[in-house]
Structure 1
Amino acid sequence: METAADSPSMISTPLRAAAFRRFVSANLISTAGSAMAPLALAYSVIEQGGGAGSLGLVLAMNTVPTIVFLLAGGLFADRLSRSKILFFGNLLAAGAQGALAVTVATGHATTASIAVCGFVSGTAASFIVPATQGAVAQIVPAEYLQQANALLRLPSNMVKVLGPVVGGFVVAASGAAWALAWDAFTFTAAAFLLLGLRLDAPLTTSGVLADLRAGWTGFWSRTWLWTYTAAGTVLVAAWLAGFQLLGPLVAARQYAGARDWGLVQAAFACGLLAGTLVCLRWKPYRLLTVAVVASGALALPLAAMGWGLPLPVVLLTALVAGIGLDIAIVAWTTAFQQHVPHAEQGRMSAFNGVGERLAIPLGYLITALAAHSWDSQSVLLACAGMIAAAAVVNLCVPDVYRVNRLTGYDQSRITK
């Protein structure tokens, strides 16, 4: 199949390329299932009598493969056909979610079986993510990449607004199995759409070990990059442990369970969508500073739930957190793309991704253990404090204020 990148003169917008329309469709279908998956996974554990410890184990097992296999996924994405990697990765995820749906529906689900399915899903994600990032550049000409990324991001965030709400009502009305089955179906449909892209394997000129060594040297030589990653290690772990692990448990005890937790997730998704719209208009000069400050907004909903504030306040803070996170993602991505040479971006992106995920399994397990000794609200406040502290410490790094937007002539001065 011919891609837009093969014939750039034929298109004036990414949506005119059949390959990009196929890619967008697959992304939307997959997101329609994945938007319900976190809530369904949490309540599949709760339905079989699990608490914070069980949910922490399941979430940790889902995260471990993304640490272990992410670098391998990045290397495969630079050496094999990305459309085939996406096809088999989505099929593997579909199988895992389908098996989980069957065990939950038949009443045979246990913490161990749910954790195994989560491990398989995490393994699939470690290959899907880097292949997805590289596929867009193969499908769309360089001059349309920013527009293509926006077109991918906006509809996906719109789906995420309704997905948790629908998922909350589905889980509350009929249990988690139906939401998990839907997720498996969407992974399958996306797999066959992505296979049709038929993307050629990228060319490689050096060995695997040489690529990894060069990537690590480039990563460590940029203080702003590894310090941002180190701060992200703490921030991401605290956010996921607080929001994904303790959030559903607090909602089950303090609010109206799956329904209200679905509303909280929908408010967060609305914030992501609003943040994307903000970034389409606002182009800050101090990119990295904005990314660090905006990421600190993730502390707000955790603090609101920790203090036992009313649901409307929690929804407002989740909305603000979503806005902040999306602004942080866009600002960080732009800074990374402008200040890291193109030839090094794939490897250093993998190092950054692994670094930010290193503490997630440990964070889940420590939070689950802490929830047995202290009440969940106190642990949520501790997670909020860690997020705020990570942002403040990162702002003390001088290089953060030197990584700013480059335009025109400045674009040639890539940070070394």
Structure 2
Amino acid sequence: MRTAEQAAPVPKTPAPPWRSARFRRFALAGLISATGSAMAPLALAYAVIGEGGGAGSLGLVLAVNTVPTIAFLLVGGVLADRMSRSRILLLGNLGAAAAQGALAVVVLTGTASTGSIAACGFLSGVAVAFTVPAGQGVVNQLVEPGQLQLANTLVRLPTNAVRVLGPVVGGLVVALCGPAWALAFDALTFLAAALLLHGLRLDAPVVAGGVLGDLRSGWSAFRSRTWLWTYTLTGTVVVAAWLAGYQMLGPVLAARQYSGASSWGLVQGAFALGLLAGGLVCLRWKPYRLLAVAVATSSLLFLPLTALGLALPLPVVLTASLIAGVGLDIAIVTWTTAFQLHVPEGELGRAAAFNSVGERCAIPLGYLLAALAAGIWSERQVLLVCAVVIVAASALNLCVRDVHRVNRAPRQ
């Protein structure tokens, strides 16, 4: 006679993500498009410089690229909960390919101007507004809940490796062939990604009601989850302080305190290597309190700001940047996993859109506040203030009780 233990069914172990052809297709599409995107910023900067523009022209181009993303994100979030997310990603990648291809043509033919470059950037920004919310809800349609962290890590690991090598390769392409060819390559990678996504064919989430009604219900759901809106608010503050300190003031102090561009290149390389190492950590470490870990590890971004602000030796700055990169990638993987586990399928797009609006609004906010603060304090003092802001915002978020309740157990 069989015992109760013998009669009980053995839980089926979910297949690893790489066994799924659809997951491999999605991950490969992301890797290919990331390869071109890693070269694009450098190529864009030299395209602006090549047509006679300076810092003001480049700033205008970057702003025109950012504004439509913020403006259309909420629309993209609503559509991501009404349409097939794979179809949205397909159309978004085709739009980005068209924008980058047009930019490559005007640069190659010598007809580029700040206006034409900005127009192409505007179209790219619109494409991003639709692909970001859709992309957040794809992985959980491809793998089982217990495999989400592994799947998110596997998506990020190769793209992080590309971020280490991409700028170097992009610099060589721009130096040898000119920025137009790097931009053309970026367009081709978007096109190749679109072809891969064409075969993904994910079902659309079932959402009833009109667009405005969906937006209102999405906002109500977002606001009702304390852990979600407090994390978004904290992220806005942390991203603003990080970008203002690291991206804006970091190169200035590197030129003043170290050896300029070469030392800053090492700092950025150390940070990129940290991102790659953080992905490797996530292959092994599966913390239970996902959101608390995300908040704590993202706070490590204060380290390189502190090292630069205190004018510590370059090896210390490199070590701090490496650790910050490790922490940030762990934070991204654990946050993404928690988000996918604890937000219902039909709300993922809108919730991702509200979260992304908060973080992207931090970009101009951080630069503006840092510029104003630099008129009052020295650059080093501003960096230290940014470091304190990151620690304080993260500590306050860890005081929110709901943050510690968002764990590895999937939503019921």
The bucket for the TM-score relative to the shorter chain is 0.7 to 0.9
Of 154, 163, 181, the residue aligned with 2:184 is 181
Is the 8 Å Cα contact of residues 76 and 349 (structure 2) preserved in structure 1?
no
Q: State the Cα distance separating 1:204 from its structure 2 match.
A: 3.0
> Which residue type is aligned with residue 188 of structure 2?
F
Q: State the Cα distance separating 1:250 from its structure 2 match.
A: 5.7
Aligned residue pairs, count:
399
> Which residue type is aligned with residue 72 of structure 1?
V
How many angstroms apart in 2 are the aligned matches of 1:130 and 1:363? 23
User: Where does residue 207 of structure 2 map in the other structure?
Assistant: 204
Decide whether aligned partners of structure 1 residues 324 and 242 sit closer, same or farther in structure 2, where only a CA change above 3 A counts. same
> Which residue type is aligned with residue 363 of structure 1?
G
Of 40, 50, 53, the residue aligned with 2:54 is 50
> Which residue type is aligned with residue 267 of structure 1?
A
> Which residue type is aligned with residue 153 of structure 2?
A
Considering only aligned residues, what root-mean-square deviation do their CA atoms show, in Å?
3.4
How many angstroms apart in 2 are the aligned matches of 1:174 and 1:225? 46
Is the 8 Å Cα contact of residues 169 and 258 (structure 1) preserved in structure 2?
no
User: Where does residue 351 of structure 1 map in the other structure?
Assistant: 354
Decide whether aligned partners of structure 1 residues 317 and 49 sit closer, same or farther in structure 2, where only a CA change above 3 A counts. farther
Q: State the Cα distance separating 1:29 from its structure 2 match.
A: 0.8
Of 30, 41, 45, the residue aligned with 2:33 is 30
Q: State the Cα distance separating 1:234 from its structure 2 match.
A: 1.4
User: Where does residue 121 of structure 1 map in the other structure?
Assistant: 124
Q: State the Cα distance separating 1:30 from its structure 2 match.
A: 0.7
> Which residue type is aligned with residue 15 of structure 1?
W
How many angstroms apart in 1 are the aligned matches of 2:246 and 2:107? 23
> Which residue type is aligned with residue 350 of structure 1?
A
Decide whether aligned partners of structure 1 residues 181 and 319 sit closer, same or farther in structure 2, where only a CA change above 3 A counts. farther
Q: State the Cα distance separating 1:260 from its structure 2 match.
A: 5.2
How many angstroms apart in 2 are the aligned matches of 1:299 and 1:245? 15
How many angstroms apart in 2 are the aligned matches of 1:314 and 1:107? 41
Is the 8 Å Cα contact of residues 32 and 159 (structure 1) preserved in structure 2?
yes
**Counterparts of residues 253-272 of structure 1 (less than 5 Å):** 261-272=264-275
Aligned-residue sequence identity (percent) comes to 67
Is the 8 Å Cα contact of residues 300 and 321 (structure 1) preserved in structure 2?
yes
Decide which moves more: 57-66 or 230-239.
57-66
**CA deviation profile, 1:208-261 (whole Å, cap 9, x unmatched):** 233222222222223232222111111112223444444556667776666655
Gaps of 5+ in 2: 1-11
Is the 8 Å Cα contact of residues 149 and 334 (structure 2) preserved in structure 1?
no
Decide whether aligned partners of structure 1 residues 332 and 84 sit closer, same or farther in structure 2, where only a CA change above 3 A counts. closer
Gaps of 5+ in 1: 1-8
How many angstroms apart in 1 are the aligned matches of 2:177 and 2:384? 33
Of 387, 401, 405, the residue aligned with 1:403 is 405
User: Is 2:350 the partner of 1:329?
Assistant: no
> Which residue type is aligned with residue 280 of structure 2?
L
Q: State the Cα distance separating 1:125 from its structure 2 match.
A: 0.8
Normalised by the length of structure 1, the TM-score is: 0.81
> Which residue type is aligned with residue 353 of structure 1?
S
How many angstroms apart in 1 are the aligned matches of 2:292 and 2:319? 24
User: Is 2:153 the partner of 1:150?
Assistant: yes
Task: Look up the SS of the partner of 1:181 in the other structure.
Answer: helix
**Counterparts of residues 365-380 of structure 1 (less than 5 Å):** 365-367=368-370, 379-380=382-383
Decide whether aligned partners of structure 1 residues 235 and 83 sit closer, same or farther in structure 2, where only a CA change above 3 A counts. same
Is the 8 Å Cα contact of residues 158 and 273 (structure 1) preserved in structure 2?
yes
Task: Look up the SS of the partner of 2:208 in the other structure.
Answer: coil
How many angstroms apart in 2 are the aligned matches of 1:386 and 1:250? 19
> Which residue type is aligned with residue 135 of structure 1?
V
Q: State the Cα distance separating 1:169 from its structure 2 match.
A: 4.3
Of 85, 88, 91, the residue aligned with 1:88 is 91
User: Where does residue 225 of structure 2 map in the other structure?
Assistant: 222
